[in-house]
Amino acid sequence: MNQGYFITGTDTNVGKTWATIALMRYFKKQGKLVVGMKPVAAGCVLVSRDNGEASSSGFIDPDNSSDLSWCNDDALLIQANVSVHVPYDLINPYAYEQPVSPHIAGINNPVEFGKIIECYHALKESADIVIVEGAGGWCAPLNAQQDISDLAKALDLPVILVVGVKLGCINHSKLTYQAIQQSGLSCAGWIAVCVDDDMLNEDENIQAIKAAISAPLLGVLPHLPTADFDLLAEQIEII
């Protein structure tokens, strides 16, 4: 049976993508066929459909613009780590140029859940597990009426909470966990990502969150100057 997880975070820039890729690598090592998805991404560059390389020129020739599309670095990283090739448009159906809240970036092309759900089901057909990375935090707005929590409910997936271990993380993790519980979705666990190399009492903060949250701690991802996803995958254990 196909299985999946919805990845949310205590905030933006807390390590959701690193956690997503680490989870994909973890499940691949378990012998699973894995694909990932970042349904909504704000902050994109023009990429050639032919060679996958970002356009380095600020000028786009109108005659060749059909060969270019907006792509997000995190979504491209997810695509690079799938078990089977899938089109970028399935992984990231909503790619917005500006790095702002999706409900603002998508004012002329608002997020519609039907399109995302259709892409998700198409991805499910090609894999055992689909890891879906959200945008921003649990209550980040996606359009004028719906936010990330609504998308997680629409997909009906167990949630994995990514906690960026930095000052304020105890409060943010407790509030986000309570909101996930109130949504009626199950929280499969949480992952601590050490995003601040100068964090004081890092272990004590993680232990405080562990005591406050009943969902299991699935792993602690250390601070790294550059990503080593095999190393990060080794830090994860899902029972």
Residues labelled as active-site residues? 38
**Across the strands, what pairs with 193?**
164, 221
For residue 45, list its beta bridge partners. 71
Amino acid at 73: D
Distances (CA, A) of 63 to 66, 89, 120, 158, 163: 8, 22, 33, 45, 45
Beta bridge mates, 6: 132, 159
Residue from 153, 130, 21 nearest 76 by CA: 21
DSSP code of 141?
Answer: B
Distance CA 61, CA 211 (A): 57
